[in-house]
Structure 1
Amino acid sequence: MHAVFYKNLIQLRHDPTKLLVIGLTIIGSAAIIALVAGTDLTARLASPLYQCAFAIIGVGLAPLIVDAFRDDAAEGVIATLRASGQATWRYPVAQLVTALLPPAVLSLLFATVPASLVPSLRPLAGGGQGVAATLTPVLIVAATYLYQLIAHGKAIFMTTDTLDHGITDGASDATTSTAPLAIRVRNLTFGYKRDRPVLERIDLDVPEGQSLGILGYNGAGKTTLFSLITGLLRPWHGSAAINADVFHSMRDVFQLTESGNLAMTMTIRENLRFRAMLYATRENPHPIDLEHLDALPMVRAFELQDQLDKKAKELSTGLRKRAGIMAGLLFDPKLILLDEPTNAVDPITRQLLIDLMRQLKADGRTILTITHDLGYCWQVADRVVVLDDRRIVRDRMVAGFADEDAFRKAATLGRERDHVDFGLRK
């Protein structure tokens, strides 16, 4: 949980608006208590003002956790947490402690310190009325946390364990390799809305060491398939499993999300420290050398030495993609799932990624790539599957195509459009 505490603290430090809100909250509450203590108010006026001071603490601090769950899910923090092998329940518990600790400490200080210094406040701070006032900020923040958890915490509750032992049966015709299965998907159906499946009756086997390209038009369910394989989503029917006999824990799995699995308000160095804290164990308390990051081969290969102390949101799309892939591969995953790695990157970065994927494939890593980049797929993939209309409609080995043109035609399902009339001719 200390990794989540670290992330929350760093994100707070980088957010001047939230720091200003905290400062104004403390000043406002202190001013009201000083007013009650310094003026001769009747009990009828003093009591509600005293309670108002504590309510301000709750109202002021509650926004600090607004959208925390949604932002962490969108930025891949939940995916990173699962990939580290940490128990999923640790995250909401850490967020709860982060949310409740500041109002609890502030309300306790405001209830005890002024009352010990000003005798006239002691009747207000004592008894049931004082206890109720002290608990008010905690209750306000707790209610806000509960709402956020229900409204935006679905990613936590929908996760499931997809590691399974003994995945050996029923390899598809396209998987002629004798290698053990890395991933098995059986009769998989899932949708985000009832009676509107995104994927339907999907069957897919991926042998260990294979590079698989997953193609399909926008909205075909490619990213959804990744999330089901890694357990970020639960299927309606069927199953998706990662072979636990090949990949012994989720630490062997890296899924690149659209955000690059980077918290946007944290620097690349801080993101790496957060990951290192998640991945640390008693046997390996320092999974990467945080003191010499700029000297690490992966950092130098992606030319990120000068970007380590920049916030992720300050980087261009290409640099952010480089940083996200670098951050995941530093922890030596054996199963790599990439979602549009070459999307919106410059030609140099694209070629760098192609060279990297070739080396990883030669090293025996299992790679699944969602991409619209057919040139990248032609150079990197051993096999391609094409999703369309909720199902897998093509499943071919790349070596089976006569040339790249034949591959492109099969990958686009023969829907190329030439000489399109956009109505621009005069």
Structure 2
Amino acid sequence: MSGNLRPSRLSPGDVLRVGAVGLRARRARVVLSALGIAIGIATMVAVVGLSESSRADLMARLDRLGTNLLTAEAGKDPGGGDIKLPKNAVAMVERIGPVLQATASADIDARIRRSDVVPEERTAGVTAQAVRRDLLTTLGGEMSRGVWLDKASERLPTTVLGSVAAKRLGVTRVGETIMMNNTRVVVVGILKPIELVPTLDRLAMVGFPSAERYFGFDGHSTTIFERSTDASVEDVWAVLARTINPGQKGGIKVSRPSDALAAKAATDEGLTKLMLGLGAVALLVGGVGVANTMVISVLERRQEIGLRRALGATRGAIRLQFLTESLLLSALGGVTGALLGTVATYGFARFQGWTAVVPPESLAAGVAATLVIGVIAGLYPAIRASRLHPTVALNTT
């Protein structure tokens, strides 16, 4: 009958209880060790979450602004001179089938001062451009104060200032005047910042007729803006330069302003990878802390191990006990870190006005990483504990 006796096996519930007892007996050390894991996981979850939240906000902005805006600018001819676009360039662009809207602006020679008592050389970093009335609707701009140019004001000495230009000139309300060369010009409006074309923020804009009458403008545009259907942007891009100026298409630079915002998303992605690397380092440090805690636990509990072995615990049961402790310790840090990272993501995203996004796969990956760390960190201490001879362990003082 005695030959049929076999060591009893621990149930999963017994294994968890035995492992938890070891952690409860050393709470301060457990908290400090779990903190290292938590910091690593929290960093990784927060970095991924904030990156995704920022990217989602950027994509939403792109959707609102539209990615179907193309800009064509006059460059230099082979001799180094400035290329003059045809006066009917906008009309030619509007003949392209998929084009929905087209407008233009042009550089003009006008030095801008706050008043006539300011020396002419002090322009406050503000330049002047002539613009068409339909510029605002084509670019999707909005007024901060006042009104945009209309049929009457585009012929008069009036101007609309970009947001930065207004600040640099110290103009805070409509009706104030500034000097453009020796002409006193009335400010009829101030724009909100235009994200797709930020260069307009630093301009004082007048109508084409006004520029011809007061500032010697010759009527030739320097920049063409057009919007087409989303599906046809690439097709329009291919023919835009030669449509605007068939004789010198090589001197026309065509670009899509939204590409700059898309490039920002790519830059953010590179920064995300760097921060994930730092999070991985923190996680590795946390794993070393867990391993250190478990090794010390084995050294301090040699008598306990010896007693369990003397009472019939197998080497496998001892290994499983300490491996379970390591997994529980790592899981504690991992879950805590995932919660902290999620809270940090939602808090910062709300502060920035973003839509908070925490990918579920990042949480799953974080918890999985902690379990892997727990196995690796606890494997050596568990094997070391199982190899202790009961007699040697019980004789330890």
* Higher relative helix content: 2
TM-score (norm 2): 0.31
Larger RCO (alpha carbons 8 Å, 6+ apart): 2
Larger radius of gyration: 2
TM-score (norm 1): 0.29
